[in-house]
Amino acid sequence: MKCMAVYHILSSYQMNCQSTRPAPAVFHRHHPTLPMAKFCVSLWVPAVRPILTILWVFAAGGWALAAAGPDFTLVTLPDTEFYAQNAGGQFGLASTMQALGSAATPAATTTVPTGTTTATKTATHTATHTATHTATHTAVKMPAARYVIVISVDGMGSAYVKPLLQPGLANELSSFKRLQAEGCGTLNARDDADFAITLPNHTSMMTGRGVVGPAGHNWTSNIDPPPGATFESNKGTYIASAFDVTHDHGLRTGIWSGKSKFSLFHTSYGPTTGAPDLSLPDHGRDKIDYEKITANISAADLSADFTRQMTAQPFNFAFFHYRDPDAIGHAIGWSADPASPYAAALKSVDTQIGKILDWVRATPALNGQTSIILTSDHGGHGQTHGDTTNPLDYTIPFYVWGAGVAAGGDLYAINPTTRSAPAATANPPYSGPQPVRNGDAANLALSLLGLGPVPGSTIDRAQDLAVAHPH
């Protein structure tokens, strides 16, 4: 226990030593392998050495400073790189660390020499990855949820959802109405400002970036990626995602999709392509723990796999993609007719979502600890989409349900100063007042998990999209 306590403090220190925040600064870092009630807090004063790292405990409704004891030691840390890790995941502290307290002997916490592995690890400290590392470990909130499921319904335009909310229809979207009543959201959300096609928008959902421009993820293609292509190979710099942040905190991640082009996420965040995890313990470069990417799989089959996998071992961050309405839209046409095949496809997905809601409520491990974000990549018109001037294409729903989420709220009413409801015929650019966008999903999901924003993200970077009324 002594060993682990020292480790957590050290890990917290490494975030802070790379930070560029003004001094003195206080950081709260939730570490998932600590009990939920414990947070590391570091006081970082760059001009003054050494650095003191202490542990706070949130218990009995308030914060308390944990006294040094059998499982926790106060340490002072000089400003230098000094950690190492062996293949077994053990870690050691280099000789430059000094520990306070009679029992806190760093050498006793390690079984490996520091030299070689430190050099190896340090070599991965490129500027980009250091920035990633720093930003992925700045959680500032109490987590509202232990599990977040982002559900994207491909081709679900708000114009086509609205008619199906009327009671009594054969294709009435009863689960969607339940999300509206029990959660908060809007039918007046937007997709990316410049693209109304699938892969660029799903990338925005996962990375918190728009598509184009220096800050964009720059993935504009909507076909199966060329072999080996990744977000990084396309842009020239690594594009972090919600998978990165979640996984680097030791939490489980998964993706389910019925379209083969979603292999892009697998390729971009795989064992050799994901960013090194520079925190300790090292959770590796493979950012997605489970993938079910199967072309043309039905909504029912994909849902069944999802609940099966979640039951076996829950995923803290799950991204779930239903392809069905888009497929019918392209084949037969987007339609506001409640009796249309497109409406039936929406209803089919709605039924599966209802099963997921019921299953969350009926599963003790998930109920009250799970949030769901429901949105879409684009709507459509005729038998196509992608027209960034057509409200039918860019107007989409965005709903949040579950742990930490207000019931029955409108997201624009809850966020009067940070989001602005756009005119029905506008998809605003990224400069100026922002609508709720599908790109909010990544940083909202992380916020609900109590984690900081995706490094490099711009949409909801401040994680200020509230889903509950302020207390």
| Choice from 326, 350, 440, 460 touching Zn ion (CB under 5 A) | 326
198 binds Zn ion (CB under 5 A): yes
Does position 277 bind Zn ion by CB under 5 A?
no
**Count of alpha carbons within 13 angstroms of residue 195, beta-carbon side:** 24
Q: Which residue is nearest to Zn ion (CB)?
A: 198
Cβ proximity to Zn ion, 106 vs 200, nearer residue: 200
> Is position 154 an interface residue for Zn ion (rule: CB under 5 A)?
yes
Nearer Cβ to Zn ion, position 18 or 388? 388
Cβ atoms of residues 166 and 174 within 8 Å? no
Tracing tokens 């470069």 back to the chain, one arrives at 285
Q: Does 324 bind Zn ion (CB under 5 A)?
A: no
317-348 burial code (b ≥16 CB/10 A, e <16): bbbbbbbbbbbbbeeebbbeebebebbbbbbb
Q: Is 192 in the site for Zn ion (CB under 5 A)?
A: no
In terms of C-beta density within 10 A (0-12 exposed, 13-18 middle, 19 or more buried), how is residue 32 classed? middle
Q: What are the tokens at 290? A: 């489970």
Please choose, out of 60-68, 91-99, 270-278, 318-326, the segment that lies near Zn ion by the rule CB under 5 A: 318-326
Residue 96 Cβ, how far from Zn ion at the closest point, in Å? 53
Of 14-22, 264-272, 321-329, 417-425, the window that binds Zn ion (rule: CB under 5 A) is 321-329
Q: How far is the CB of 383 from Zn ion (least distance, A)?
A: 13
Which residues, in sequence order, are CB contacts of 45 under 8 Å at separation 6+? 23, 24, 51
Q: Are the CB atoms for 275 and 240 separated by under 8 Å?
A: yes
> What number of residues does the chain have?
471
User: Which residues partner with 362 through β-bridges?
Assistant: none
Is residue 393 involved in binding Zn ion (CB under 5 A)?
Answer: no
Question: Binding residue for Zn ion (CB under 5 A) from 191, 248, 377, 440?
Answer: 377
Decide if residue 253 touches Zn ion (CB under 5 A): no
Position 191 contacts Zn ion (CB under 5 A): no
Closest CA to 184 of 386, 390, 359, 440: 440
Number of residues that bind Zn ion (CB under 5 A): 4
Nearest approach, Cβ of 190 to Zn ion (angstroms)?
Answer: 15
Nearer to Zn ion, 202 or 287 (CB): 202
> Does 244 sit near Zn ion (CB under 5 A)?
no
C-beta atoms surrounding 86 within 10 Å? 15
Compare residues 281 and 333 and give the one whose CB is closer to Zn ion. Answer: 333
Minimum Å distance from CB 328 to Zn ion?
Answer: 12
Shortest distance in whole angstroms from residue 72 CB to Zn ion: 50
Cβ-count burial of 78 within 10 angstroms (0-12 exposed, 13-18 middle, 19+ buried)?
middle
Least distance to Zn ion, CB of residue 198, Å: 3
Tokens 């970077």 correspond to what residue? 461
In the complex, minimum distance from the CB of residue 443 to Zn ion, in angstroms, rounded to a whole number: 21
- Give contact residues for Zn ion (rule: CB under 5 A): 154, 198, 326, 377
